[in-house]
Amino acid sequence: GGIITQTPKFLIGQEGQKLTLKCQQNFNHDTMYWYRQDSGKGLRLIYYSITENDLQKGDLSEGYDASREKKSSFSLTVTSAQKNEMAVFLCASTPGGRAEQFFGPGTRLTVL
Amino acid sequence: QQQVRQSPQSLTVWEGETAILNCSYEDSTFNYFPWYQQFPGEGPALLISIRSVSDKKEDGRFTIFFNKREKKLSLHITDSQPGDSATYFCAASENSGTYQRFGTGTKLQVVP
C-alpha cells in the first residue's frame, strides 16, 4: 500500500499573498494531480503532471503555478490568494497505464 | 460548462432501501466512468467504475447501469447502510483516464 500526504492540512493567508501547498506520494505513481473542491461544485482540475518535470494545465490553472521536481512530490502555488478561492485543494496520483486516482486528504485554504 | 452532471444534489433514504444516483455527460468521446465516494474530511476514493463497452457493472451492493445512447448512467446502492452516508461523485474521461471530469456530487444520507 501507499499514502498521499498533503501539507499543511489547513492554510490561512492574506488576500494577495503567495501560498504554497505540498503533496507527497509513496506509491511510486507516474501521474499526479491538483484539484480544487468548492462546496457544491465538485472537483475541478488545476494542473497535472505525467512525469517528473512535466506540467499540464487543467480547466482552472489561471492564478496557480505548479512544480514537479521529483516523481514523489507535486507542489501547487497560489500566486495571489483571493477570497473567492477559499476551498479544499486535493492532490491525487495514478500509476502508469491505470485510470484509478488515489486522493490525499486535502488542504483547506482560508483567505482573510 | 459542466460536462458531467449529477442528480439529485442530495438524497435521503431509509436503511435497507435502494439509493439511485444519476449522472449524465456530454462528450461522446468519454468512455471511462468512475464513481468516487467521499466522507467528510477525507479525499474521494474510487468505489466502482465502468467502461462504455459494458452496460452494467456490479460490485457487491453497488451497481452501475450505463446507457451509451442517452449518455446517462446511474449508481444503485442496494440495502443501503448508515455507513454509506457520504458524497458520491461521478466522473468521466477518455481512454487513459488521465483527465477526468467530475460532476458536482450527490450527498447521500442513510437514515437508520
Number of H helices, E strands in chain A: 0, 11
Residues in B whose CB is inside 8 Å of some CB of A read: 4, 6, 9, 32, 34, 36, 41-46, 49, 89, 93, 96-105
- The terminus-to-terminus CA distance of chain B in angstroms comes to 38
Q: What does the domain layout of chain A look like in residue ranges?
A: 4-111
What phi and psi, each to the nearest 5 degrees, are found at residue A43?
A: -105, 135
Inter-chain CB proximity A40 and B93 less than 8 Å: no
Q: What is the pLDDT of residue B26?
A: 94
* Average pLDDT of chain B, as a whole number: 95
Q: For chain B, which residues make up each domain, given as ranges?
A: 4-111
State in words which class domain B4-111 has: mainly beta
Say whether pLDDT at A41 is over 90: no
- Provide the percentage of residues in chain A whose pLDDT is more than 90: 84
Task: Please name the residue that has the C-alpha cell 485510470.
Answer: A99
Q: Which of A1, A15, A41, A5 is nearest to A109 (CA)?
A: A15
How far apart are alpha carbons A93 and A53 in whole angstroms?
A: 15
pLDDT bracket for residue B1 (50, 70, 90): low
pLDDT band at B44 (very low <50, low <70, confident <90, very high): very high
Whether the predicted pLDDT of B86 surpasses 70: yes
Quote the pLDDT of residue A31: 93
Domain A4-111's class?
mainly beta
* A24 interfaces chain B, CB cutoff of 8 Å: no
Q: Cβ contact (<8 Å) for B98 and A94?
A: yes
| Residue A55 burial (CB count, 10 A) | 14
Instruction: Give A2: exposed, middle or buried? Use CB within 10 Å, 0-12, 13-18, 19+.
Output: exposed
Is the per-residue pLDDT at A66 higher than 90? Answer: yes
